[in-house]
Amino acid sequence: MHTRLSGERDRPPRTKGRADALDRLDGMPTLDLSLSAADITRAICDIPSVSDDERMLADAIEAAIRPLPHLEVHRDGDTIVARTALGRAQRVVIAGHIDTVPLNGNLPTRDIEIDGEPFIWGRGTVDMKAGTAVQLKLAAELSDPVVDITWIWYDHEEVEASRSGLTRLAATRPDLFEGDFAILGEPSNGQVEGGCNGTLRAVVRTHGRRSHSARAWMGVNAIHAAAPVLARLAAYEPQEIVVDGLAYREGLNAVRVSGGVAGNVIPDLCEVEVNFRFAPSRSGAEAADHVREVFDGFEVEVTDLAQGARPGLDSPIAQDFVRAVGAVPQPKYGWTDVARFSALGVPAVNYGPGDPSLAHHDEERVAVAQIESCERSLRAWLTAG
């Protein structure tokens, strides 16, 4: 369903701060973190940073953060870590990625209204530069928070996990991940989303024997042999599994099918790539067993596997955070880097502005009110005595 965007074609006047938020000095954009989080969102969205091309944005962030006396800054590739070292009893890690999926004519950002409500439209607004903007603003502002904070802004989240800035950092500087609680600013509609589903990819293969299609009886058609594979997928009934009080909805889907040699050849191979999104109560091995069981009798090769994360909402600091932001925890369906913190023993949640169902969408857009509300709640919790 496509939500009609009223005023989509108009360009309302920019807020005053915008031009200042993104100035260019000797070709390098500079960020003014004293502006509103909405203006910072516009500014960092308008520096395109599709995965592999985050350098310019990382440079701008480093230039804005490095001079702040209350932060120790560490840069690794295009990942920037900024830490307070106030000797607080607890440390919170707050992280956000700075890359986006590819553009599709949806930059520069535009200010639009939907049902009278202001939105910022454009690639990255939801996933997840609005969340990163809130973090950047608070990182600059909060020189005296009640907990120590490790801010992490990282590259290559939207591509293979092996290329992620967090993967690199976890290998070289695991100490920077230490903390009592972690918050990822991934879009969650301003709700606290606990844990996440795991994700598994597998290729289900059928084999045949080639022949000329004029003499099909001399061959064996591998595409026809895949009929039961698709039939099992179509008949599959995904489960909803309650983990630590949150209901995780699973899904098993074909995401690719391919087969065929030429228009006059009986094909000898057909591949169906499936994606299984599984509740965090299943281990990766259990998820793989389940997929093998569904496709019993067929060749199944697991090609990618990332375990989920349990909600992690039972620790006192997590409960305190949930109370402070006044949210009812929800399950996270998409896999996010909370699973990475979870695996390192740090309870983690997703909390950020933006409707996750608009992530990667060509009409990606974030409500300005959600940015402001996330900023207020996070500030209140980080400064409350």
Query: Whose Cβ is closer to a second copy: residue 265's or residue 317's?
Result: 265
Positions in the binding site for a second copy (CB under 8 A): 197, 199, 201, 211-218, 221, 223-227, 230-231, 233-234, 238, 249, 251, 253-267, 270, 272-273, 275, 277, 304, 333-335, 356-357, 359-360
| Least CB distance to a second copy at residue 234 (A) | 4
335 vs 356: CA distance, rounded Å: 12
User: What residues contact 110, with CB distance under 8 A and at least 6 apart?
Assistant: 8, 11, 120, 121, 122
Query: Whose Cβ is closer to a second copy: residue 179's or residue 356's?
Result: 356
Q: What are the structure tokens assigned to 257, written together?
A: 């099918």
Query: Whose Cβ is closer to a second copy: residue 73's or residue 203's?
Result: 203
Q: What is the dihedral of CA 185, 187, 189, 191, to 10 degrees?
A: -40
| Least CB distance to a second copy at residue 256 (A) | 3
C-alpha 60: how far from chain center: 22
Query: Whose Cβ is closer to a second copy: residue 118's or residue 334's?
Result: 334
Q: What are the structure tokens assigned to 23, written together?
A: 């100035």
- Beta strands 330-331 and 246-249 are unpaired
| Least CB distance to a second copy at residue 266 (A) | 6
| Least CB distance to a second copy at residue 151 (A) | 26
Catalytic residue among 99, 155, 158, 268: 99
The answer to whether 355 is a known catalytic residue is no
151 vs 81: CA distance, rounded Å: 6
The answer to whether 157 is a known catalytic residue is yes
DSSP state of 192: E
382 vs 118: CA distance, rounded Å: 27
Query: Whose Cβ is closer to a second copy: residue 231's or residue 343's?
Result: 231
Q: Do residues 350 and 309 lie in contact, with contact meaning Cβ atoms separated by under 8 Å?
A: no
| Least CB distance to a second copy at residue 165 (A) | 19
178 vs 176: CA distance, rounded Å: 6
Active site residue ranges: 99, 157
